[in-house]
Structure 1
Amino acid sequence: MTEPLFLADAYARDAEGVVASVEDGVVVLDRSLFYATGGGQPGDSGRLEWDGGFFTVTEAVKGDGGAIRLMGNGELPTVGVEVRQVLDWDRRWGHMRVHTALHLLSVVIPLPVSGGQIAEAKGRLDFDMPDAPEDKQALQDALNDLVTRDLPVTTDWIDETELDANPGLVKTMSVQPPRGAGRVRLVRIGQGEAQVDLQPCGGTHVARTGEIGPLRIGKVEKKGARNRRVYVHLD
């Protein structure tokens, strides 16, 4: 199993790691700075560096047994070699800002979520929403109000049995929290009476909503009788 360093510190830009396996051009490390594609968030990119070698990471995906598989191009390291992992930070930073923005979007549109996707400068959520929003500007104003309140974004862990006892925590209809490890990670926005959101999530987020910056609600597309796709852009 690869230790997911990004869960402990989403702001870490580089870290050491040891090559656990190399097979068919895919590198697996004992600990990974690179987030693996999942939950609508793309996998990280960047590079691995070691004495006399360099490997460009273009994609990170989940493998068997909790492994994070790094794919790309360049010279492959050998098993047991210590490497320096370096993130494409600008890309990760965009994903962090957009991911937290989508959590806020699920606050201002409190409807079940049927899908979502994150990119560097925009994202979207699909809602179980038979009719389009009547006032898109009001939604955008509410969204930016949550940003400017500069709410803290923190994480907690609960047992899977606790999640089963509180099914309302899960907003997504299409993507369920990862199970099997015995515990589930929660992302909380706000604290105490100022809390606005709490939901299971394994992605990377900013530490405070103020770091997202101004947001703009873009297109609202009809994707079925009961489905509306809402886009959010970083401005």
Structure 2
Amino acid sequence: MTVLLFREDAYRREAPGVVAGHTAEGGVILDQSLFYPTGGGQPGDSGTLEWEGGRIAIASAVKGEAGAVVLVPSEPAALPPQGAHVLQRLDWNRRYAHMRVHTALHLLSVVIPLPVTGGQVGEGRGRLDFDMPHPPGDVAALEERVNALVGRDLVVSAEWITDAELAANPGLVKTMSVAPPIGQGRVRLVRIGRAAEEVDLQPCGGTHVARTGEIGRVTIGRIENKGRQNRRVSLILAT
């Protein structure tokens, strides 16, 4: 199982690693990964791997077998050999954009307290799909409520609970389309706000900013009808 360095520090931009193996498709597996693998609506990280005598660009990261993170090269190239010591470098601007959008989408789920049926994190924008029979009446008011939460500069933190604790508190789960990863004994929760200032607490394995103030100004974009009771709400961040 790959050690997930991004869980320990989402702001870390580079880290060492040792090549644990390769996949038949030409992916690289390290003993520890700075790269977030695609999942939960958030794209995999991109960046570079460097080692003595070589360097490759990494287009993305995906989940492999038995808890491995597989780094996918941008194009076919000579890979670092098994056992090689490498330096991982993130495309930091892209990662940070994902962090800002992901946290903003959690705030969107606060101001629209309806079950979430899907979502996608992008660079500078994202969207959530809601089980929403009717479109929201006042989009400007929703936008201002999200920006008010951003402006409070709330602390964003993570903690762990057991599978049994999650099962005893099903209200923590907002997503209908993606179940939290259970079966490993514990589940990661992301909390926005502390004590009396808490506004959100839900299972999430993605990367987030440390404070909501880092998100910046949010604009609510298009609201699309995606089915009889499904509405897609887009969110755009200021550059």
Report the TM range for the smaller structure's normalisation.
over 0.9
- For 1:205, give the aligned amino acid: H
- The alignment-based identity, stated in percent, is 64
- For 1:129, give the aligned amino acid: M
Deviation at 1:179, TM superposition (A): 1.5
Q: Given the alignment of the two structures, is residue 83 of structure 1 paired with residue 80 of structure 2, yes or no?
A: no
Match of 2:193 among 184, 190, 193: 190
Please, which runs of 5 or more residues in structure 2 have no aligned partner?
none
Determine the structure 1 residue equivalent to 2:173.
170
- CA distance in 2: counterparts of 1:84 and 1:47, whole angstroms: 8
Determine the structure 2 residue equivalent to 1:11.
11
Q: The residue matched to 2:226 in structure 1 has which SS? A: strand
- CA distance in 2: counterparts of 1:90 and 1:75, whole angstroms: 26
Please, which runs of 5 or more residues in structure 1 have no aligned partner?
none
Contact 1:22 1:77 in 2 (8 A): no
- CA distance in 1: counterparts of 2:181 and 2:56, whole angstroms: 30
Determine the structure 1 residue equivalent to 2:61.
60
Deviation at 1:116, TM superposition (A): 0.2
- For 2:32, give the aligned amino acid: R
The one-character-per-residue Cα deviations of 1:68-115 (angstroms, maximum 9, x if unpaired) are 011113320000001000000000000000000000000000000000
Moved over 2 A (4+): none
Determine the structure 2 residue equivalent to 1:231.
234
- CA distance in 2: counterparts of 1:22 and 1:38, whole angstroms: 21
Deviation at 1:181, TM superposition (A): 1.3
What TM-score, normalized by structure 2, do the two folds share?
Answer: 0.97
Aligned length: 235
What TM-score, normalized by structure 1, do the two folds share?
Answer: 0.99
**RMSD (CA atoms):** 0.6
- For 1:218, give the aligned amino acid: G
- CA distance in 1: counterparts of 2:54 and 2:184, whole angstroms: 35
Contact 1:188 1:197 in 2 (8 A): yes
Contact 1:62 1:69 in 2 (8 A): yes
Q: Given the alignment of the two structures, is residue 46 of structure 1 paired with residue 47 of structure 2, yes or no?
A: yes
Q: The residue matched to 2:146 in structure 1 has which SS? A: helix
- CA distance in 2: counterparts of 1:212 and 1:51, whole angstroms: 38
- CA distance in 2: counterparts of 1:62 and 1:233, whole angstroms: 28
- For 1:126, give the aligned amino acid: D
Deviation at 1:18, TM superposition (A): 0.3
- CA distance in 1: counterparts of 2:172 and 2:58, whole angstroms: 34
Q: The residue matched to 2:177 in structure 1 has which SS? A: coil
Q: The residue matched to 1:224 in structure 2 has which SS? A: coil
- Describe how 1:47-126 pairs up with structure 2 within 5 A: 47-72=48-73, 73=75, 74-126=77-129
- CA distance in 1: counterparts of 2:101 and 2:2, whole angstroms: 25
- CA distance in 2: counterparts of 1:83 and 1:35, whole angstroms: 17
The one-character-per-residue Cα deviations of 1:131-163 (angstroms, maximum 9, x if unpaired) are 001000000000000000000000010000000
- For 2:35, give the aligned amino acid: F
- CA distance in 1: counterparts of 2:70 and 2:34, whole angstroms: 12
Determine the structure 1 residue equivalent to 2:36.
35
Determine the structure 1 residue equivalent to 2:20.
20
- For 1:13, give the aligned amino acid: R
